[in-house]
Every structure is written in structure tokens, then in C-alpha cells.
Amino acid sequence: MEREENHMSAPASARVNAQAGAAPKKVHFVSLGCPKNLVDGEIMLGNLMQDGYVVTDDSSEADTVVVNTCGFIDDAKKESISKILEMAELKKTGHLKKLVVAGCLTQRYKHDLVDGLPEADVFIGSGEFQNISRILRDEESGAGKKTYFNLPTYLQEENTPRVNSQPKHTAYLKISEGCLKRCAFCAIPKIRGNLQSRRLPAIVGEARLLVAGGVRELNVVSHDFTDFGWDLRRKGAGAVERPEALLAALADIDGLDWVRVLYLYPDGVSDEMIELIKTRPKLVKYFDMPLQHISDAVLKRMNRHMTCEEITERLGKIRAEIPEAVIRTQFIVGFPGETEEDFQELLRFVKEQRFDRVGCFIYSPEDNTPAGGFGDQVDEAVKQRRHDELMEAQMEISREKHRAFIGRVVPVLVEGLSEETDLLLQGRMSQQAPDIDGVVYINDGQAEIGQIVNVRITDAHDYDLVGAIV
């Protein structure tokens, strides 16, 4: 659910292949939103490059710009619209011929978006993105339409062309589409549909191909990892498709160092899953478990199927089995009907549990969600105050947890020169997921990009750590 902007570029080898043809078309690609949307964007790029397009980082030299939008919450929608309008400005130079709008926002608002954005030429929903090159060819031949919407039923195969937009040593691995749950605040099932899991052999096959291409770290993404395979098992179509079986299979891949699973609904974190993460060295001891709230009354209204007691039991089990486990979570404050008492319960819980990392969203009513129609919406100023109070409490906890790393030697995956200064290297511990957590700055020692080295931590900031290679 984390959002960010990715200007996607292609690996050098892919550029050379595409440039072998005459006057290749240049595409600039912007992907917004979560890693699941990013993987769809990478498949679009693979599809376009197979058709002879070359990717350019410079939007001003592109004939075609694709904005892969996010439509999850208000801020994400605004960011998507403003990026589309920014890219539309390029048409004034006469160079940009086609502005393509794809992704979740397109799927969610379909014709409303088309009516509101005459600047864009083609709209491709989440059920058609895999056909982008054919769509653009039809456009060119005059046989095209302006809109391409369909049910989001597409699942990639193990060898579907895909351009990994991440540094060579890391990649996201998408295991399913849609979501089985029906949280009252969430529009995802409306946008992405019901859960559809990929077949386990296809996922493991794709993981092996990524590792053969130099990937050392995989981040497994879906809307809820713990439901993986439920749809296939229910149809009697997938005996092996279980989250635990997938973890075990990924943990056996030679050449892979770290497997990190993102987004675990707490009721699906089974004892077997905890045992696997505890005992298999490649499975990173990192639990990304969005809890959303802790008051039973709010959880019930959110249509979350766990109580405070059950959640506390699961957290206790993880910590008892894996004391070094890093636990990241996310909460929503200001959900309709959240009383001051509910919020204080949440605040107490955050202080008691001492999570390693906490994200906090201010609730915003979403179209076509049950909670959007609830009557007892919380005042905006109250929501903001609750958000600030919760984040302030967590900041102190995060600082203390970071300071506890000083003096420890930890393995760090080196990612390249620091984004702050060329004088430092930058990397991540296995406890730091890409894009959402902090980094480790390395101020002494040399290493290759993609290498895992031991770093002694010497300093700690609010989000990042500093250390030297030993």
C-alpha cells in the first residue's frame, strides 16, 4: 500500500536488442503506487520492448509516455492526476505523440477519468495492461479505440517478458492478483477483483529466472500473502498452492540470499509459517503485518476478522519463537466511529508492543466502500491529532530500536553510491525492505554493488543507520 514514483528504465542489454531495428519508438514510463502495480508496469515494459520500443529516462525525448497510476486513496489519486497533467504538458513541444494512462486509477474510475482527462490518448485498465504493445499498434494503424477495460483476470507465466526496474540484485515477485478479504475501508477488491493465485511452479520458475539474472533478494508481493492458493484449493485445482509450501520452495533456491514476504494478514500467520521463517536461513525474519487497528469495536466495523486478544497472541508467538524478528505494521486512525477511548487503546498498544516500524494512514472515505457510507465520520482535525500523537510515540520507539544497533555487526546488501553523497555507499540489512524502510550508509570500506558484506553499525538516525565494513 506504500506509494512512490518509479521512473522505469531498462537494462542496457535490452536497449541494445531493441535498437537493432530502424528508428525505434521511445517510451518513457512512470509507475506510481505499490510494488504490485510496479510489477504490472515491468510486464508492460517487457511487452513494449519485445515489440521494438526502447525505454528512455528522459520524458522530453519520448514519443510515448505511460503513466501507471495508483487509485488506492485520495493522496495517491491526486498524485496520479498531477503526474498525468505534468506529462501532458510535453505534448506542447510536439515531440510526445501518445499519452497512455494505465493502472489502478484507470480501472477504478474508467469513463469518469476518460471524460475528465481529454489530454490523454489511451486508457488501459488493470485487465488489459499485458496487451499494451498490441493496443499501441492498433492505435497507429487507426484501428484503435481510446479505452481498454476488462476484468483483471490476467496472471503472468514464469517466462512472461518483464523488465526488472529495480537494481539488478533485487526484484519483486508477484504471486497473486486481487484479494479475498473485504475490509470495509478498502477499494482493492473492487479494483483488482477476487483473489487469483498463480500456480506455485510458475512462481518458483520465475524466481529461478530472476536469480539466474543476478537477483539475490526477492520481495514477495500480493495483497495478502497468507491467502495464497485459497482460490485454487477451493476449486480442487491446486493442492501444492499454500503459503507455507511457497515459502519452503523459495527457501530452497540456490543463489538466492534473502526472501522477504510483504503483507501478512495476522490471522493467516500460522505456526508452520513462523517455524519456517525461524529455521530457513534465506527467509528474512521480517513480518510485515498491517493490523489497521486494535480496538475490537473498530476492528469489527472494519470487517477485520481478528480481535485484540488474537492479534496479541500471534505477536507473542512470533516474538517467543523469533526474538530477533522485525515487525512492521500499519494503522488507520480516524476510522468512522473511532472514539477517543478506541484511539487511546491503540496508542497504548503501540507503546506496549514496541513495533520496529509503524506506518499510519489518516482514514479517508473511499467511493464504493462500505465505510465510505458510514455516518459517524471523525472530524478532520481530530484525525490529524491522533495521527501525529501515534507517530510521535512510535518515533521515540524507533529511535531507541535504531540506537540498539550501534556496535552490532550486521550483513548489508550493498546497493551502490548513496543518494545523499558519492562519498558513501548505501545498502540495506535484511531487516530493511526496499523503498519503505531506511538504509545503511557505509562510510568506510569497499564493496561491489549486489554484494552482501558485514558492517559494524557506528551511528543511528531516525530512519537510517551508519557503519563501516569489517
List interacting residues with ligand SF4 (CB under 6 A). Answer: 179, 181-183, 186, 188-189, 223-224, 265
Q: How far is CA 151 from the centre of its chain?
A: 21
461 grid coordinates: 538516525
From the CB of 439, what's the least distance to ligand SF4, in Å? 27
Q: Which is nearer to ligand SF4, 266 or 450 (CB)?
A: 266
What is the closest distance, in whole angstroms, from the C-beta atom of residue 163 to ligand SF4 in the complex? 26
- Closest to ligand SF4 by CB, 31 vs 369, is 369
Report whether 212 contacts 171 (CB < 8 A). Answer: no
Place of cell 488506492: 72
In terms of CB distance, is 43 or 187 closer to ligand SF4?
Answer: 187
Q: Strands 4-8, 258-261: parallel, antiparallel or unpaired by DSSP?
A: unpaired
CB of 98 to ligand SF4, least distance (A): 32
Q: Which is nearer to ligand SF4, 182 or 278 (CB)?
A: 182
379 secondary structure, DSSP code: P
Rounded least distance, CB 48 to ligand SF4, Å: 28
Nearer to ligand SF4, 196 or 458 (CB): 196
State in angstroms the smallest separation of the CB of 59 from ligand SF4. 31
3-state secondary structure of 282: coil
424 CB-contact burial (10 Å; exposed 0-12 / middle 13-18 / buried 19+): middle
Please, what is the Cα angle at 187 between 339 and 164, to 5 degrees? 125
Provide the minimum distance between the beta carbon of 266 and ligand SF4 in the complex, in angstroms, as a whole number: 10
SS3 of the chain: helix, strand, coil, percent, to 5: 40, 20, 40
Please say which residue, 195 or 425, places its beta carbon nearer to ligand SF4: 195
Strand, coil or helix: what is 111? helix
Q: Compute the distance between CA of residue 291 and CA of residue 187 in angstroms, rounded to an integer.
A: 17
For the bound state, the minimum distance from the C-beta of residue 303 to ligand SF4, rounded and expressed in Å, comes to 8
Q: How many CA atoms lie within 13 A of 268 on its CB side?
A: 23
| Closer by beta carbon to ligand SF4, 29 or else 72 | 72
